[in-house]
Structure 1
Amino acid sequence: MDSQKMQSPSQSKKKSLSRFLMRGVLRCKHFHFPVFLRPGFVPCLAAPKIPEGERVDFDDIHRKRMEKDLLELHSLIEAHFEKRKKEEEELISLTQRIEKRRSERAEQMKIRAERERERLLKAAEEKARKEDEEAKKKADDDARKKMILSNLSFTGYKTQTGPKRQTEREKKKKILNDRRKELNVDHMREDSLREKAKELWDWIRQLEAEKYELQYKHSKQKYEVTVLRNRVSDHQKISKGGRSKRGLRK
């Protein structure tokens, strides 16, 4: 009994199979070959008995397989959600980069437009300053020429009397008082002030143009007077020289 208990399960299976084959041979020994080897014969095979120690627990196998499948399913679900989460994070990061780039570009365009506006404003101010300097320089040159021509033209003539000069000054003062208008800009808004400044600027330009025309006419008249005086003096010198020569001949 102890030796039978010590046999392994594989040895028990081999012994059971050999016994089954020997029984088939003994039953069909009057044939030349065993019955179960003849063609078309289906033997009545009985399922081998499984020893008590080697019984298979199908419920346990099924349970383990279900646990394995469930574990694999959980792994696939976790991998899917992990991948989806990663893709969502990448999409959010890409959207943030696009928005950041768009805002940076808008800021750059704003700075560029501001710099361009400042450049145009400075160019306009520089142009206006140069025009003012040229106009002032031209006015100074005209005034200097006027003073030189007046000194050259009226040298030798009698000066006007005091009361008459005073009368001319009074006339000039009266004309200036009539032209000068008082400005009341306390109640004006910014738009009104700009329009008023533009109106005054146009008026100043008109006055400068009239002043330049008058100075030009005055200078031209003085030049003509000077030329006529020189011609008269030359004619007088020539006539005096002719008379002296005729006296010497006599």
Structure 2
Amino acid sequence: MSDEEEYSGSEEEEVEEVVETKPAPKQESRPSIAGEGDPEFIKRQDQKRSDLDEQLKEYINEWRKQRAKEEDELKRLKEKQAKRKVSRAEEEKRLAQKKKEEEERRIREIEEKKQRDIEEKRQRLEEAEKKRQAMVQAMKESSKTGPNFTIQKKSDNFGLSNAQLERNKTKEQLEEEKKISLSIRIKPLSIENLSVDKLRVKAQELWDCIVKLETEKYDLEERQKRQDYDLKELKERQKQQLRHKALKKGLDPEALTGKHPPKIQVASKYERRVDTRSYDDKKKLFEGDLEKLNKDFLEKVWSERTDQFKGRQKTRLPKWFGERPGKKKDEPESPEGEEDVKAEEHEEDDEPAYEPEPEEEEEVVEEEEEEEEEEEEEEEEEEEEEEEE
């Protein structure tokens, strides 16, 4: 069975190769094969070939259908892409048109705003020129009659003076205002179709105008010089008054004439000793450094007293005759022996030995005497009890 399967498999491969290379097998080979082999085997092989041919035909038909579908899908996608390109081009054209209209509208609004600003500035300068002319006229009249006590109202300039407003302006604003002001002040000359006499009259008018302007200029310069002199004189008077005020308060004469107020005096000027401390040191006393100074002073006194206590003269007790009362086991015979032992321990351990003060030594002696008296009393009581027994 396995041999037949192998043979049939090899035969199928051969048939596939033949089908791929030769689409139509020859009819002459079949009779020759039929005459040579088994008729059942030949029949089986023919059946297999026919099945394979039908399967291949089905595959081919299916492939052709799939290919037709893919071509239709590709065609549909190409048509869709072309429509999308057209719609995108129209959308871009519409957006470009809209952007262009917006840009034109923005430029038109900017131009209109500039024109409005120019007109407003022109009107403002015209009003300022009219006010100036009226002020000049009023000044001329007031110089003849007497001083003027009118108070002008302040304009809403956020607390800035006219000079500060002028300084805050840019170069372009100043140039533009200059052009507008000149266009208002300098009026165009209409000298066309004028005779010689009229031209002479016009020239005389211009000459009179120049003389008038130069005269006003000279008057204003002289007035400015006089005002500067008055200001200097007033400042000097103010300084003199401040000097007198400082002297009355007991301060330096130039203490109140500076830009800043004088420093606070933290010591009396009537002290005999001159204070050598700086202003900062004296000022720190009022910021809580007095406690620190007191603390430092106490620590210094404490260190001095401790050094004095450590360097005092030490007193020694007299030697005892016999066994010292209250002596414990492994203790020296005399206080000198205790000191020697302590000195040896100090040399070994490098630790300071504590030596009692004279008062403490007296207390120790009194305690020892009391202990001896108590022991004697106990011994007497024991002896009495023994005698009674």
Q: TM-score range by the shorter chain?
A: 0.3 to 0.5
TM-score by length of 1: 0.37
Task: Give 1 or 2: higher helix fraction.
Answer: 1
- TM-score normalised to structure 2 length: 0.26
- Of structures 1 and 2, the one with the larger relative CO (CA 8 A, separation 6+) is 1
